[in-house]
Structure 1
Amino acid sequence: MSSSTITGAILAGGPNKFMSGTLKPLLPFDGGTLIEHQIRIMRELCGEIIVVTNTPKPFFDVLDRSVRLITDYFPDCGPLGGIHAALHLARNPLVWVAGCDMPFLSTEAARRLVENRTEHNRAFVPTIGNRPLPLHGIYDKRCAADAANLLSTGEKRLEAFLNKAGYLGISADSWREEQSIGDFAFTIRSQEDYERAEERLSRILHTR
């Protein structure tokens, strides 16, 4: 599996992008910002990185020029709008999509999704407790048409998108116990979550 075949896409918009007056992706983390930390992880697997945001200006001084900043074709449509934009503009046939508030992305988890893909499905999503995790999924670029068809009718639900794309759910309940993967589903939704993420990162760094 070559990195030239995979694009990494980070969704950095939405109503929950601010926390304590700071954009979540620009929160201090791992010696830089959270989004820089995510990009470093994605670059282990991806030959192209996209950040989807309708407010690109705050990122100009943070991200290097190799990162593509793009905006939604369907604004104010939540994560599905961002997924559509990423899939539509990705230069590679596969796209690894993540949210900007997920500090522990896992290239090993993404690799396993890619390795389990089939000819009959276009979306490959980890499931935890039988629930799909769309924002750590691998998508065939052709899923952009599925997203566009839904959004054009006003349908914004990720569940509807997964079903239309014919997704394959891959059980990942045991993955988070593996040191090489960790809790890739962890999401920063509050100040307490952010503090927990920093503590967890400190423990990870001390074990290296």
Structure 2
Amino acid sequence: MQFDPKQLATKEVYKLLTGSVVPRPIAWVSTLSEEGDLNLAPFSFFTVASRQPPMLCISIGPGVGEREGTVKDTLTNIRSQEEFVINIVPSALGNPMQKSSENLPSEVNEFEAANLTPIDSSIVKPKRVKESPIQMECKLNQIIQLGTDHLVIGEMVLYHIEEDYYLGNYKVDFEKLRPLGRLAGNYSESTEFFTLPR
């Protein structure tokens, strides 16, 4: 079988892509509005963009459902404040993460809605998620519009990790972290690790 994306609806192509590019890590992005409102939302179009300087990227699409055709608060806040924090989502925080993904009004604080604790960052103004064991403070490098979506590239200016999740020698304890990923509309939990023979 083969599919020509020009012959398909956007949603149909999206289903093929998100069912094939798996598992995708989740960036739990915290931002701050011009008015000082806290915002928190997950994005699974997320990866490392550069090693030196260290840069991360997330792709933010347009609003969906009842907010179809609108710009997501995360993108609006990053554009205006040029700062954000990427919090990593272990499986234990799956339900609060899911709660923060709901289409809530802009003035609603997702930290409160998901019963999470905002804590000060050291360099940027947006808050970190205290319950997340890994948080990366970022300053905006650039935003590139790609079709209907916006690729946000941020330079990581400070990395936080709970000591219990740090193995030493700059390595993360994945077995303890058990990070969540996306598989199409479902989630995956990384619990088994192995190496392949060279």
TM-score (normalizing by structure 1): 0.29
Q: Which has the larger radius of gyration?
A: 2
Q: Which has the higher strand share?
A: 2
TM-score (normalizing by structure 2): 0.30
